[in-house]
Chain A
Amino acid sequence: MAAGRVVKVLSKTLPQAVPTMLGIVVLNFLLLKMLPGDVADTIAMEAGSATAESMAALRERLGLNLGLFDQVLVYLNNLIHLDLGKSARLGAPVTTLILGRLPDTLMLVLTALGFALVTGVLLGWIMSAFAGKWPDRLISVVLIFVYAMPGFWLGLMAIVLFSVKLGWLPSNGSASIGANYQGWAYFIDRLRYLVMPALALSLFYAAIYARLTRSAMLEVQQQDFMRTAAAKGLHPIVMQFRHALRNALIPVTTVAGMHLGNMLGGAMVIETVFGWPGMGSLALDSVINRDFAVLLGILLLSSLLVILANVIVDILQSWLDPRIELR
């Protein structure tokens, strides 16, 4: 992929991303300001007592006494300095809190996305090759069921089968605590913890990609350039990879980029099921405790990740189909 092309795509997509980011900051801020009760209430409630003066002092310390517009400006200014504020409850900077949880969530979500893409495209390809025959029909029926299952329930049922009945996989956490594995053993250990949550999160999306790939592949096969490729004596396998699959991947990558946000949301529930120490449990805690700064940070970061994913998709697509950058 030429670097020049990447720069070209970036110069087109980044200016579009900035207003979206600003909008998201403001939207999130307004949403969170609508919450009944503020952090000062929560802190006072936990302390058990509060005077009017101590509450006022607390609100001043937390910046809650300023006007709404000023609060947004303060927040934006801090944001530019990569300061997302402090968690009013835990005392730690929000950035530290989130960055501590981010790697685990990213590992879960990206593994799930990767698995969904590979499985989905592979299945869709097989289905398109056997269109109308029994493998196609069989896979279709299975996918229809997978597509209808709540991921977290699938995860719970997987725990029953693989942890409780068979005893193959651990059901809680992201690594063996205190085991201190090194090298290969460490990798295997992490993998054993990752398999079930990643599968539970990914199967729903694998079903979507399989169906998309199937219909895209069937559509591509009827294009003129496929007949040309066959006429010039191209090997069928080369033809399938270089021409058919490459074109069929365009709709799949578009949708996959949009799914990252959904997967981050879905990860919240899956993380709860498997005791996975990611952003999900942090977000849930901050909702319950009305810890604005943390929740705001998570929403913002998730949205930024979605924007980033869309930029990556744009670059990928300009590689898959060079005509796209001319649009």
Chain B
Amino acid sequence: MNAHSPRPSATAAAPGVAPARKKKTGSRAWRAVRHNLPFLIGASILLAVALIAICAGVLYPGDPRDMVTLPLSWPLTDNEYPLGSGSLGTDLASGLAHGAQASLLVGVSAASVGLLIGILVGAIGGYFGGIADDILVRITELFQTVPTFLLVIVLVAISGPSLPIIAGAIGVATWPTVARLVRAEFRTLRSNDFVLAARSLGYSTTRIIFGEILPNALPPIVVTTSVLAANAILTEAGLSFLGMGDPNLVSWGSMIADGRSLLRTEWFVTALPGAAITLTVLSLNLVGDGLNDILNPRSESNR
């Protein structure tokens, strides 16, 4: 990302100082959205998964781990339980819906934690430079060297497996990506005219960092957020597959682990939650790719 030229403020422009051509870019972005089929597909899937997650408690009241029918009926054989049942007679459809809740929650909260730390570290290092930057870069490198998944496992082992802890641990392990990105953006943007103007108007440093530079650095950050969320969902799935997930929740990873011993015969018990993970991560990636094209006009020519 070598944005030496002033960045067209594609999303919400910086208030006050850099409000150029807001209306026109807005309509351009909308046109880009309508013509971006992968983005539309991704956004629709994501919306559907989110809807299912939100309505899980209404659609399938009761604990998804309860025995409700005969065990191990294949999908599409029982009208009442169209996706089949697990080894203990659990309704797989109910498990998938409640699992969507767990996965999306982890995805969103882990990405938020990663964003928060990454933006803070990257913004401070990139804006101030000097010794603070050197130290922060070293810390970032340190966290990038330690294998993420191992780090997450250690953090979860320390604090016990609960959903907030898992999300926090994934966030703590993945912030370096954001920090590097934000730092690079801040380093190119900090010498721009609009920053100089803001400084000459006597804005506080905090306001310049978060009110002026950050909104202009947002497009690549937004794109990275969807990648962070997608990776968080994959990590959580691996974690609960290993039996280190939240024991009080049904998650897609734990459903896969449950189905593992049935792999030789009732493989659908494993296949379905995995397909759900794939579909959700796929939708997040499509949305991320699409946003990249929409928010960054230069990348359109690449496609």
Contacts and interface: CB of A to CB of B under 8 A. Distances in A.
Interface of A: 19-20, 23-24, 27-28, 31-32, 34-36, 144-145, 147-150, 152-154, 156-157, 159-160, 164, 215, 218, 258, 261-262, 264-266, 268-269, 272, 283-284, 287, 290, 295, 298-299, 302-303, 306-307, 310
Given A261-B147, A287-B153, A164 B264 contact: yes
Contacts of A164: 263-264, 267
Contacts, number: 135
Which of B142, B145, B230, B267 has the most chain A CB atoms closer than 10 A to its own CB? B145
B56 to A, nearest CB: 21
Nearest to A296: B154
Contacts of A307: 145
Contacts of B234: 150
A71 to B, nearest CB: 17
Nearest to A266: B149
12 contacts: A20-B145, A31-B154, A150-B277, A150-B278, A153-B256, A157-B270, A157-B271, A160-B263, A268-B149, A290-B157, A303-B147, A310-B145
A258 B145 CA distance: 8
Contact of A148 (B145, B155, B230, B260): B230
B155 A306 contact: no
B142 A302 contact: no
A264 B281 CA distance: 22
Interface of B: 138-139, 141-142, 144-151, 153-155, 157-158, 160, 230, 234, 237-238, 241-242, 244, 253, 256, 260, 263-264, 267, 270-271, 274, 277-279, 281-282, 285-286, 302
B146 A269 contact: no
Cβ-closest 4 pairs across A and B: A265-B149, A153-B274, A148-B282, A261-B147
B71 to A, nearest CB: 19
B302 A302 contact: no
The binding surface of chain B is classed by DSSP as helix
Given A164-B263, A269-B238, A284-B242, A299 B150 contact: yes
A264 B142 contact: no
A148 B234 CA distance: 8
A144 B263 contact: no
A156 B154 contact: no
Contacts of B242: 268-269, 272, 284
The binding surface of chain A is classed by DSSP as helix
Given A149-B278, A150-B238, A269-B242, A262 B149 contact: yes
B158 A153 contact: no
A156 B148 CA distance: 23
A27 B146 contact: yes
B158 to A, nearest CB: 5
B260 A156 contact: yes
A157 B274 contact: yes
Given A152-B256, A302-B150, A310-B145, 6 more contacts: A147-B282, A153-B256, A156-B270, A262-B147, A264-B150, A307-B145
Given A35-B157, A269-B241, A20 B141 contact: yes
A327 B151 CA distance: 32
A245 to B, nearest CB: 19
Contacts of B154: 31-32, 287, 295, 299
B141 A156 contact: no
B142 A23 contact: yes
Contacts of A298: 150
A53 B158 CA distance: 27
A283 B86 CA distance: 30
A302 to B, nearest CB: 5
B274 A31 contact: no
A24 B147 contact: no
A100 to B, nearest CB: 19
A154 B230 CA distance: 17
Nearest to A141: B38
A42 B277 CA distance: 36
A203 to B, nearest CB: 12
